[in-house]
Amino acid sequence: EAGVAQSPRYKIIEKRQSVAFWCNPISGHATLYWYQQILGQGPKLLIQFQNNGVVDDSQLPKDRFSAERLKGVDSTLKIQPAKLEDSAVYLCASSYQPLPDGYTFGSGTRLTVV
Amino acid sequence: GESVGLHLPTLSVQEGDNSIINCAYSNSASDYFIWYKQESGKGPQFIIDIRSNMDKRQGQRVTVLLNKTVKHLSLQIAATQPGDSAVYFCAENTGANSKLTFGKGITLSVRP
């Protein structure tokens, strides 16, 4: 079974620029999650999708972050404009249903904002 | 506020010894807990989980203990190997949508 695919692996941008991350979940996984992991900390949930609908985006900074999951498969997370404090690893995870069981994480995208 | 935390930031053990990683949680309503292992440049990898109606669960070389009275979770790794070197996170399930709250992580370093 293929894992959760994310791209790019690394990204360096200047503050105030925009950036987008892509995630392809495991086939058949209805639930998709985006996490932000700042260096030295545990992942923090940004947004959770069930198919193509948003279940929880309470911790997503909506003034600059946006995410979509068209057709309930792939997802993109965008930051515009980026700030220095957005430097982090952005992890995508997927699961069969909205349960912690079977969470599978991708390797993440490491973003550096300079 | 509610949080999941770890008592020690780093743990160094001798190869072959047993490791114990501890975690305190504050949300008494949490009903599901997971231990993750994260190696450099990779996403968190599931190790073992436990539900709140259990006190202990064993896997291959790993055991998770849950003490709901003091809201404490521990991960025991038997015969620690160099490949066990990584950052370990405990996470708790909060909310109806199965949101996971992670602790800050502890680094396990295995000495040869």
Q: How far is B69 from B92, CA to CA, in rounded Å?
A: 16
On the question of pLDDT at B80 being above 80, the answer is yes
The answer to whether the CB of A57 falls within 8 A of the CB of A47 is yes
Report the C-alpha gap between A86 and A77 in whole angstroms: 13
Read off the pLDDT of each residue in A54-77 and give the average, rounded to a whole number.
Answer: 94
pLDDT(B104) > 50: yes
Instruction: Look at the alpha carbons of A100, B34, B68, B53 in this order and tell me if their dihedral is positive or negative.
Output: positive
Residues B2-29 as b/e (b if ≥16 CB within 10 A, e otherwise) read eebebeeeebebeeeeebebbbbbebee
Inter-chain touch A100–B49, beta carbons under 8 Å:
yes
- Give per-residue pLDDT as tens, B6-20: 444 889 999 999 999
> Is B103 in contact with A42 (Cβ distance < 8 A)?
yes
pLDDT score for B100: 86
Q: What is the pLDDT of residue A40?
A: 85
pLDDT at B27: 87
B106 touching chain A per CB within 8 A: no
pLDDT in tens, B48-72: 999 999 999 999 999 999 999 999 9
pLDDT band of residue B3 (cuts 50, 70, 90) is very low
Question: Is the separation of the CB atoms in B57 and B97 below 8 Å?
Answer: no
A51 vs A99, which has greater pLDDT? A51
CB B105 within 8 A of CB B88: yes
pLDDT over 50 at B43, yes or no? yes
Residue A86, classed as helix, strand or coil, is helix
Question: Sorting pLDDT into bands at 50, 70 and 90, what band is A1?
Answer: low
Question: What is the full DSSP assignment across B46-68?
Answer: EEEEEETT-SEEE-SSEEEEEET
CB contact under 8 A, B99 and A56: yes
Q: Percentage of residues in chain A with pLDDT exceeding 70?
A: 96
**pLDDT at res. B6:** 44
Q: Return the beta strands (E) in A1-114 as ranges.
A: 5-7, 10-13, 19-24, 31-37, 44-50, 53-56, 65-68, 75-79, 88-95, 104-105, 109-113
Residues 6+ apart with CB under 8 A from A47: A33, A34, A54, A56, A57, A59, A60, A67, A77
Q: How far apart are CA B108 and CA A52, in angstroms?
A: 38
Instruction: Give contacts of B23 with chain A, Cβ < 8 Å.
Output: none
Distance from the Cα of A61 to chain B's closest Cα (Å) equals 17
- Residue B96 has a pLDDT of 65
Q: Give the residue with greater pLDDT, A111 vs A30.
A: A111
pLDDT at A14: 98
Residue B46 to residue A106, Cβ atoms within 8 A: no
Query: Which among B42, B49, B97 is the nearest to A98, CB-wise?
Result: B97
| Mean pLDDT over each residue of chain B, to the nearest integer | 89
Tell the burial category of A10 from Cβ atoms under 10 Å away from its Cβ (0-12, 13-18, 19+): exposed
Measure A16 CA to nearest chain B CA, in Å. Answer: 26
pLDDT of residue B4: 52
Distance CA A28, CA A8 (A): 23
